[in-house]
Structure 1
Amino acid sequence: MKTWALYAGIDWSKNLNDLAVVDRTGQAVAAHRFEATPAGVREALAVISALRASHGFSRKSVPVAIEASRGLLVTALRQHGQTVVPVHPATVARYRGRINPGNRKKSDAGDAALLANILRTDGHLHRPLPRHSELVEALGTLTRAQLRAVRTRQHHYLQLRSQLRAVHPTAVTAWAHLGGRLFRPEAREVIALAPASGSAARLTRRQIRAALERAGRTRLLDAETERLHALFQVAALRNPPMVEDALGREVRATVRLLSEACASADELAEAAGELFTQHPQHPIYLSFPGVGLLTGSRLLAELGDDPNRFATAKGMAAYAGARPFTWASGDSRKVLHRRTAANKRLAACGHHWAFSTLTNSPECRAYYDRRRAAGDRHTAALRRLFARLLSSLHHCLRHDEEFDASAWPRAPETPAG
């Protein structure tokens, strides 16, 4: 970060926020407490604007440090054109201890001044928030919500499977050979109809067929009906009737939660895909092998569309956790996988993206095989492939070009035998 004339820090809370402004020498030049309201934000910005040191000074040239990267206050500051620099609370705590190791007291006004001084002394170590478009900000909200919905869906799936083992063990394996298993609508429909071994054994073929039809199944209805009917007739260990009924009610409740989580994840994924296709860069993302609407949405949401965010492809790969870092101390030197200092959502998305290219791109498969032959393990080879894909993505975004597989080294041809 370049040298500024003034530096500001905001210690935020639910209701009242403290603003402090210091000059280049660390001298406090302003302090103000304001509410988290539109009028309060205007008051804080007016305090900064009143500190006109020269005709070249502008309120927007004062960076603001705050212990948050999102929220209504951060959004309001950015909408007014203010440069916002997020600082992790753990970093602030360490700075506080460095200044006065024996004092453990916390002061909101003191923390605001401390944030301003962090920018003054070590501003070059902290990056301001990138300036993404509104569409990308909305896309990021949708993709992260969809990821949370997927995790909730997985939680209810594991919960349902555990409950079924105690009351209806046959249902755990009834759809195990099919894609989706208990996530399948037909599985949830049949289990909701008969959540215990006793009620499942009393199901008629007509009831099972009707449940499959309600779930949307249209093919091989008779065969699937017969298979499930025969499976449920097999004797299984059972609980006492009253206990079985209670456990069955619990299973029905979990099935409803699982169905709601599945619907939420699908709805958010569809909304993210629709928003993604409105962005002018979406054809570039979709031109890469293994990238569909959801993967492209997550990549665009996490990388953003600020053209000045990543100056080099190495910086983009490091942000995604696809480049290693060197740990050195004395005679010890290690090259390790970047785990914490990276965007974990982007790293997870990149792992799945690289894996999906193995069956969609001969060039990517050849690169993966070369890395495996060189001694890399599966995860390390995928990580290197992800870094290579990000390098190509960085080039394509910089030059507004779609991906060209011919730019990758092709696999050597196998001689005819």
Structure 2
Amino acid sequence: MMVLPTGLLTNERFRAREKKLKFFVGDDWAEAHHDVEVMDPAGRVLVKARLAEGIAGMARLHALLAEHAGAADPDADPDEVEVVVGTETDRGPWVAALVAAGYQVFAVNPLQAKEYRKRHAVSGAKSDAADAHVLADMVRTDSHQLRPVAGDSAQAEAIKVVTRMHKTLIWERTRTTQRLRHALREYFPAALEAFEDLDAADTLELLAKAPDPASAARLTITQISTALKRARRRNINDKAARIQAALRTEHLTQPAVITAAYAASARALVAVLVVLDEQVKTLQGQVADHFGRHPAAEIIVSQPGLGLILGARVLAEFGDDPHRYASAKARKNYAATSPITIASGKKKVALARYVHNDRLIDALMSQAFTALSASPGARAYYDKQRARGADHNPALRQLANRLVGILHGCLKTGTPYNETTAWPQHTETLAA
């Protein structure tokens, strides 16, 4: 009779676990279909199939798994069948359906899958079916090294949807503004001298009226002042006079036909910027509304440097699954604020993480910068890093890393931020 070490499963439970069926599924997804491969614990390929995206494909996947479970053990209880799925995305209706079915789903980073593929072949050959095989084998042998899809609430997922689109539109507005700036530099440099903010409401109104040098030079003080008033500017008379003078300054020009073409392009970019401004404001309200109803909102906005919008972004990218981060270190590693160490022989170097969530690190660095003026402890910590020789960005990243740890502690304990608790050493120094 087998004797189990103290603290392990009883014989009865151990035998039950031994009998449990387990299948590993690799799912290489495309827009219209999924290439899947089902593998047993020994690495034997049971079936390969291409499934259509949607309900029919999901039903077919369930049927394939049920068929092989029945073939392996006709008396198997469905609750005793464990299905582990590897795929390269963590969102969408298909992934949600896999999780809802009770499958354990791992979202494999495409870079990890790419490197793992070299274990099977070094030729560089690639196909959807081969990728499904790689993913199935990856979750079979290395699932303990992978991160399962988080069990975030529907509320957190909704916040992620609106915050990501809000930030995307802000990024798109910046890109469009740069395109407009580049176009004006080519044919209308006076506009760059006249208008400080190309995406400001008064600038867009005046450029829409006069997108070329000749029509801009004819703008009256009244027309300029009216646009400034609608944008609620101050010192309207002085600004209107300055803008008119800049627009009437002589500059090198392009031939009339080229100027007309540039003017048409600029007018189109102005129209896009107007729409982007409107939608950014609309989505900002949606972000605040969704985030304000989340149970963790109060704790998050209590952190220095985090308001409704930035706090919503942090929650959206971290998620709200209470079991996702086992420790503050795990949360810091996911945030990519903690450094990585490269050691070989006598050489040891700490570097910033190259692979990261762009949206999350952007939000955390913005929080750290704002916290410099909102938290004396954060400011003292940043100054300490600078005194050690760190440049601005590395010092700011270290502060962001510390703030992530503080946020983790607050969320774990369900307590709002407290300056004295967060920075005991720095608070005592400042008080002295």
TM-score, normalised with respect to structure 2: 0.86
Q: Which amino acid aligns with 1:24?
A: P
Aligned residue number for residue 45 of structure 1: 62
Instruction: Say what the alpha-carbon RMSD is for the aligned residues.
Output: 2.6
Further displaced range: 288-297 or 258-267:
258-267
Structure 1 residues 368, 93: CA separation in 2 closer, same or farther (over 3 Å shift)?
closer
Aligned residue number for residue 174 of structure 2: 154
Aligned residues: 407
Within a 5 Å distance, the mapping from 1:277-288 to structure 2 comes to 277-288=292-303
CA distance in 2, matches of 1:137, 1:286: 19
Cα distance, 1:396 vs structure 2: 0.8
Cα distance, 1:295 vs structure 2: 0.6
Please say if 1:252 is aligned against 2:267. yes
> Does structure 2 conserve the Cα–Cα contact (< 8 Å) formed by 1:49 and 1:58?
no
Please say if 1:137 is aligned against 2:137. no
Aligned residue number for residue 193 of structure 2: 173
Further displaced range: 281-290 or 113-122:
113-122
CA distance in 2, matches of 1:167, 1:379: 37
Aligned residue number for residue 64 of structure 1: 85
Structure 1 residues 197, 343: CA separation in 2 closer, same or farther (over 3 Å shift)?
same
Q: Secondary structure at the match of 1:308?
A: coil
Q: Which amino acid aligns with 2:88?
A: E
Q: Secondary structure at the match of 1:84?
A: strand
Aligned residue number for residue 371 of structure 2: 357
Aligned residue number for residue 417 of structure 2: 403
Cα distance, 1:313 vs structure 2: 0.5
Cα distance, 1:46 vs structure 2: 2.8
Cα distance, 1:6 vs structure 2: 2.4
Please say if 1:187 is aligned against 2:187. no
Of the three residues 99, 122, 130, the one matched with 1:78 is 99
CA distance in 1, matches of 2:203, 2:32: 48
Cα shift readout 1:149-185 (whole Å, capped 9, x = no counterpart) = 1221111111111222233222212232xxxx11210
Cα distance, 1:304 vs structure 2: 0.5
Aligned residue number for residue 25 of structure 2: 8
CA distance in 2, matches of 1:9, 1:371: 46
> Does structure 2 conserve the Cα–Cα contact (< 8 Å) formed by 1:48 and 1:59?
no
Q: Secondary structure at the match of 2:322?
A: coil
> Does structure 1 conserve the Cα–Cα contact (< 8 Å) formed by 2:217 and 2:248?
yes
Cα distance, 1:90 vs structure 2: 4.3
Cα shift readout 1:123-164 (whole Å, capped 9, x = no counterpart) = 111111111111211221222222221221111111111222
Cα distance, 1:199 vs structure 2: 1.2
Structure 2: 5+ residue stretches without partners: 1-16
Aligned residue number for residue 298 of structure 1: 313
CA distance in 1, matches of 2:52, 2:218: 64
Q: Secondary structure at the match of 1:58?
A: helix
CA distance in 2, matches of 1:9, 1:313: 31
Q: Which amino acid aligns with 1:121?
A: T
> Does structure 2 conserve the Cα–Cα contact (< 8 Å) formed by 1:366 and 1:411?
no
Cα distance, 1:224 vs structure 2: 3.1
Please say if 1:208 is aligned against 2:221. no
> Does structure 1 conserve the Cα–Cα contact (< 8 Å) formed by 2:163 and 2:287?
yes
Aligned residue number for residue 113 of structure 1: 133
> Does structure 2 conserve the Cα–Cα contact (< 8 Å) formed by 1:6 and 1:21?
yes
Within a 5 Å distance, the mapping from 1:370-389 to structure 2 comes to 370-389=384-403
Structure 1 residues 157, 59: CA separation in 2 closer, same or farther (over 3 Å shift)?
farther
Q: Which amino acid aligns with 1:222?
A: N
Cα distance, 1:335 vs structure 2: 1.6
CA distance in 1, matches of 2:33, 2:182: 46
Q: Secondary structure at the match of 2:198?
A: helix
Cα distance, 1:320 vs structure 2: 0.9
Structure 1 residues 60, 399: CA separation in 2 closer, same or farther (over 3 Å shift)?
farther
Cα distance, 1:14 vs structure 2: 3.4
Cα distance, 1:298 vs structure 2: 0.7
Q: Secondary structure at the match of 1:61?
A: strand
Q: Secondary structure at the match of 1:98?
A: coil
CA distance in 2, matches of 1:380, 1:285: 24
Cα distance, 1:119 vs structure 2: 1.2
> Does structure 2 conserve the Cα–Cα contact (< 8 Å) formed by 1:368 and 1:385?
yes
Further displaced range: 391-400 or 47-56:
47-56
Structure 1 residues 212, 132: CA separation in 2 closer, same or farther (over 3 Å shift)?
same
Further displaced range: 140-149 or 362-371:
140-149
Cα distance, 1:189 vs structure 2: 0.8
Please say if 1:199 is aligned against 2:215. yes
Structure 1: 5+ residue stretches without partners: none
Cα distance, 1:102 vs structure 2: 5.0
Cα shift readout 1:336-381 (whole Å, capped 9, x = no counterpart) = 12222x3232112111110111111112111111121122221121
Please say if 1:229 is aligned against 2:235. no
Further displaced range: 70-79 or 133-142:
70-79
Aligned residue number for residue 369 of structure 1: 383
> Does structure 2 conserve the Cα–Cα contact (< 8 Å) formed by 1:362 and 1:411?
no
Structure 1 residues 411, 346: CA separation in 2 closer, same or farther (over 3 Å shift)?
farther
Within a 5 Å distance, the mapping from 1:123-134 to structure 2 comes to 123-134=143-154
Please say if 1:348 is aligned against 2:362. yes
CA distance in 2, matches of 1:368, 1:411: 16
> Does structure 1 conserve the Cα–Cα contact (< 8 Å) formed by 2:193 and 2:246?
no
Structure 1 residues 159, 112: CA separation in 2 closer, same or farther (over 3 Å shift)?
closer
Residue identity over aligned pairs, in percent, reads 33
Structure 1 residues 96, 323: CA separation in 2 closer, same or farther (over 3 Å shift)?
closer
CA distance in 2, matches of 1:343, 1:243: 42
Cα distance, 1:414 vs structure 2: 8.3
Q: Secondary structure at the match of 2:216?
A: helix
> Does structure 2 conserve the Cα–Cα contact (< 8 Å) formed by 1:326 and 1:335?
yes
